[in-house]
Amino acid sequence: MVAEHVAVDAAIAPTAALIADPTRAAMLTALLDGRALAAGELAALAGVSAATASSHLARLLGGGMVTVVSQGRHRYYRLAGPEVAEVLEVLARVGARPETRSLRQSRQARLLEEARTCYDHLAGRAGVELLRALLAAGCLVGEEAFEVTSEGRAGLGGLGVDVDAVRGARRRFAPACLDWTERRPHLGGALGAALTCALMDRGWYRKGAVRRVVEVTEAGREGVAAIFECKDPTLHALVT
């Protein structure tokens, strides 16, 4: 039987090979919170020597998976963009969950499930519930991608989100991002990032002690609870 050549639209094998290596996968996962990390930090997180880390980072850089900025003697790496984070999140969703082998790992897993960043937007149970509340309040409409209603524009504006400016960003506006722990969508894209930034700026959320984990603050508990229970589509009572 003669094998039939199948034309492809994109060469996915080289990219998949870059992610498939355990050391490079660990480095990419460490960068999933959107922050830039030094090569030495990534080496320590991946459990390899500085020389080995440098070799792997060169491959990731050449493959367009990361970018690098030099500051003095240090080189800081970050994911090349949200599309790389999306690929990693999808792989996490379809892959097997790692077995927790200690109380510390169990606690970290629980915190990640509760609230974390998915590159630059809120994910985990907190992100899923935030999207649910915004849809229930009539601020957003849609399923696989969302649009802001007139009521939502006023409410999000009160929270500090300039919807028009966000729409001009060079990335998808407001896609549904299927959460890998909750198996339900949270709000992604430029709008998800802007809303998360606004909640951070208001002091409602802060970076947690565990990488990627975010925590609701005392100041934010009332405001976040009000969003989740909101019956007023304008969200006006929350932001005045």
Provide the CATH number for the domain around residue 52. 1.10.10.10
Q: Is residue 164 part of a domain?
A: yes
Structurally, the chain folds into a number of domains equal to 2
Among candidate residues 20, 49, 80, the one where a domain is terminated? 80
Q: Is residue 93 part of a domain?
A: no
Shared-domain flag, residues 21 and 127: no
Give the structural domain span for 29. Answer: 12-80
Shared-domain flag, residues 180 and 116: yes
Shared-domain flag, residues 72 and 111: no
More confident residue, 221 or 202: 202
In which band, very low, low, confident or very high, does the pLDDT at 65 lie, cut at 50, 70 and 90? very high
Shared-domain flag, residues 211 and 144: yes
User: Which range among 30-39, 58-67, 228-237 shows the weakest confidence by mean pLDDT?
Assistant: 228-237
Helices (H), ranges, 31-140: 39-46, 50-62, 82-94, 103-114, 124-136
pLDDT tens for 146-169 read 999 998 998 899 889 999 999 998
Answer for the pair 134, 126: CB distance below 8 angstroms, yes or no: no
Q: What's the predicted TM-score (pTM) here? A: 0.77
